[in-house]
Every structure is written in C-alpha cells, then in structure tokens.
C-alpha cells in the first residue's frame, strides 16, 4: 500500500488526498500514525504530502485541486497556461466546480458554472482541464481584446483550436449578457470562413526574439524586388552588409510539405540575387528562441 501511494503521489508533486488513500486501502488510523511519526505532512483539508518536495506552481495547483474534490476542473487562466496559450504564463490558479459544490478553502480562485459539460473537459497528466476551445471561450470574459485575439490566433496556428471549431462553440454557448461574448464575437467576425491568420504574431515573436537576443530590429514585410510582379514579400530583412532574409512559418506540417517546393524556389532565387535566406518554424520561435538568435548572430558575423 505504501508503494502504491508513493507512486501515485510522485505523479502529483508529492501529494495525495484522503479519498485516494482510502481507494488504496489506507484508512484514517494509518494516516494518523504516519502524520504523528512525520512520514507524511498535512497540506490542506483532506490533502497530505511526503516531506522533501520543493514548492512549485504545479504543486500549489495539485494541492488546490485535491482539496477541492472530484468535481474540480482546472480552468480560465490556469487552463490557458497548461495549454501554453500565448500571453498566459503560469501564475493564478483558478478551478471551476458545478453550482452548489462549494469548496472555499482559500488555496485558489473558485468559479462555478452550470454549462460545463463532460465534453468540455480533457485530462492532462492526471488533471481535469477545460479543453482549448472551452478555455478560449472562458478567458474571453477576463482577457483584453488584443490578448484574447493573440491567444485565438495562436490556438488556430498550432491546431489546438481551429477558428471554425471556436466559432461553432461560440454559436452554441453564447447568450445575452454573458461576459466577453461581444469581444469574442468581434474577434471571430474579423476572422470569418476561409480566414488565414496573418503572420503578425510570428513577426512580433520574431522581432522580440531577435531584439531580446541583442540583435538589431530587421525590416518587416519587405517586397522581394525580383518578384515585384507577384507581390511576394519576405517576413524580415537585414538589408545591411549581411543581406539576410528571414521567414517565419506557422503552417501546420502537411501544409508545409505541400508548399515546400515553392519555399525552396524562393530560397534559390534569394541566393541568386545575393541574399541569404533563413527559415524558422513556429516551434523554434516559441520554444527554442536561443537557436534563432544564435543562427542569425552567426550569420551576421560570417
């Protein structure tokens, strides 16, 4: 039994609940003896932990989650952070429960909803979390228009929540007086059927990465002079001695494969006209910015 609860708690940042212990055959007397001997610690009402685990955002989240009970769902900004939506770092801890299921333990912010169905919930590393589409719908009530728009486009670009899925969800759940609906509706109206997200997010990210890495800001949306008749543009350009063209690619893999021949053709044309093309995909710009900076810095130095 001890091995089982230790294994379970290791997946929950060293924590477990009284109910989980009971499911494994550990009764209250056994818990009391472990507490008095110092083998476990009391972390919250009905939540216990093993000593030695460092404090972290995920440990605080698990503590609140277990203390809230089996109906808890990670939601709003916290769900956005878990889904890694742009503009929502780890910080606030928000949980949602059904109406009437009160757990005011002070460990997090609590919300109550009547329209949260099982289809709006997914499980991520043991935590019940609102799906990306439900998360975007929820954060529309508290995020500013620009912050929300960036998150919506980010989720579309990464494939977590295509715009048409969010539009359908919005049409099904919106109601008069619900906070954030006008804001979200306006964002979706500007991105109707067939909408392709502009490179604006990727360009902002590219510029931020380069400047934060100590490099000068490049020119953006530069017309390729040898393709003037086709209105073909490059995302960014260093038109000084380095003559570096930079392209940021947010397309999903199958689209990128379909366009690979055209991308290579553009690169060859750039080389023939004395430019050096460099391409970075979304994953590099978001998760590995150091390699972007290092590549361009080395290219300018070469």
Q: Which residues contact 6 (CB under 8 A, 6 or more apart)?
A: 50
Residue 116 pLDDT exceeds 90 = no
Q: Which residues contact 295 (CB under 8 A, 6 or more apart)?
A: 278, 280
- For the domain covering 200-301, report its CATH number: 3.40.960.10
Rounded mean pLDDT, 223-228 = 74
Taken in order 214, 278, 197, 116, is the CA torsion positive or negative?
negative
Q: Across all residues in the chain, what is the average pLDDT?
A: 86
- State the Cα–Cα distance between residues 300 and 67, nearest whole angstrom: 54
Query: Please, are residues 54 and 13 in contact by the beta-carbon 8 Å criterion?
Result: no
Residue 287 pLDDT exceeds 90 = no
Query: Please, are residues 74 and 119 in contact by the beta-carbon 8 Å criterion?
Result: no
Q: What is the β-pairing status of strands 15-17 and 94-98?
A: unpaired
Rounded mean pLDDT, 63-81 = 94
Q: Which of 57-61, 145-149, 248-252 has the lowest mean pLDDT?
A: 248-252
Torsion of the alpha carbons at 231, 234, 235 and 241, rounded to the nearest 10: -140
Query: Please, are residues 109 and 94 in contact by the beta-carbon 8 Å criterion?
Result: yes
Residue 204 in 3-state DSSP? Answer: helix
Q: What is the pLDDT of residue 98?
A: 86
- State the Cα–Cα distance between residues 128 and 73, nearest whole angstrom: 5
Q: What is the pLDDT of residue 6?
A: 87
Q: How does residue 231 score in pLDDT terms, banded at 50, 70 and 90? A: low
Query: Please, are residues 229 and 185 in contact by the beta-carbon 8 Å criterion?
Result: no
> Which one, of 228, 227, 302, 230, lies nearest residue 269 by Cα?
227
In three-state form (DSSP H/G/I as H, E/B as E, the rest C), the secondary structure along 117-137 is CHHHEEEECCEEEECHHHHHH
Q: What is the pLDDT of residue 215?
A: 93
Give residue limits of the domains in the chain: 2-52, 64-189, 200-301
Query: Please, are residues 92 and 109 in contact by the beta-carbon 8 Å criterion?
Result: yes
Summarised one tens digit per residue, pLDDT across range 244-264 is 999 887 654 434 455 677 788
Which region holds residue 126: left if phi is over 0, alpha if psi is between -120 and 50, else beta? Answer: left
Q: Which residue has the higher pLDDT, 27 or 62?
A: 62
| Entry field: residues in the chain | 302
Q: What is the pLDDT of residue 267?
A: 85
Q: What is the β-pairing status of strands 109-113 and 94-98?
A: parallel
Torsion of the alpha carbons at 149, 152, 154 and 158, rounded to the nearest 10: -160
């Amino acid at each position: 039994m001890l091995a089982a609860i230790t294994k379970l708690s290791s997946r929950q940042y060293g924590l477990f609940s009284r109910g989980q212990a009971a499911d494994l055959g550990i009764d209250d007397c056994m818990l009391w003896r472990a507490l008095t001997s110092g083998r476990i610690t009391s972390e919250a009402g009905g939540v216990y932990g093993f000593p030695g685990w460092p404090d972290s955002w995920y440990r605080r989240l698990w503590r609140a989650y277990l203390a809230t009970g089996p109906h808890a769902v990670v939601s709003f900004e916290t769900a956005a952070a878990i889904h890694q939506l742009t503009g929502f770092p780890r910080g606030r801890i928000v949980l949602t429960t059904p109406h009437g299921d009160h757990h005011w333990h002070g460990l997090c912010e609590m919300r109550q909803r009547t329209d949260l169905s099982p289809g709006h919930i997914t499980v991520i590393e043991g935590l019940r979390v609102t799906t990306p589409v439900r998360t975007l719908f929820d954060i529309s009530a508290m995020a500013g228009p620009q912050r929300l728009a960036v998150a919506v486009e980010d989720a579309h670009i990464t494939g977590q929540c295509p715009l048409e899925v969010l539009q359908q969800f919005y049409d099904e759940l919106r109601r008069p007086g619900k906070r954030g609906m006008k804001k979200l509706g306006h964002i979706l109206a500007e991105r109707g059927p067939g909408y392709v997200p502009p490179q604006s997010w990727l360009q902002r990210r590219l510029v931020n990465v380069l400047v934060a890495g100590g490099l000068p800001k490049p020119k953006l949306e530069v017309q390729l002079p040898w393709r003037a008749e086709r209105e073909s543009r490059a995302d960014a350009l260093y038109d000084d001695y380095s003559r570096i063209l930079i392209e940021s690619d947010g397309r999903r893999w199958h689209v990128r494969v379909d366009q690979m021949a055209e991308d290579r053709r553009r690169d060859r044309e750039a080389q023939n006209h004395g430019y050096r093309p460099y391409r970075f995909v979304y994953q590099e710009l978001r998760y590995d910015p150091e390699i972007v900076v290092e590549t361009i810095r080395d290219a300018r130095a070469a």
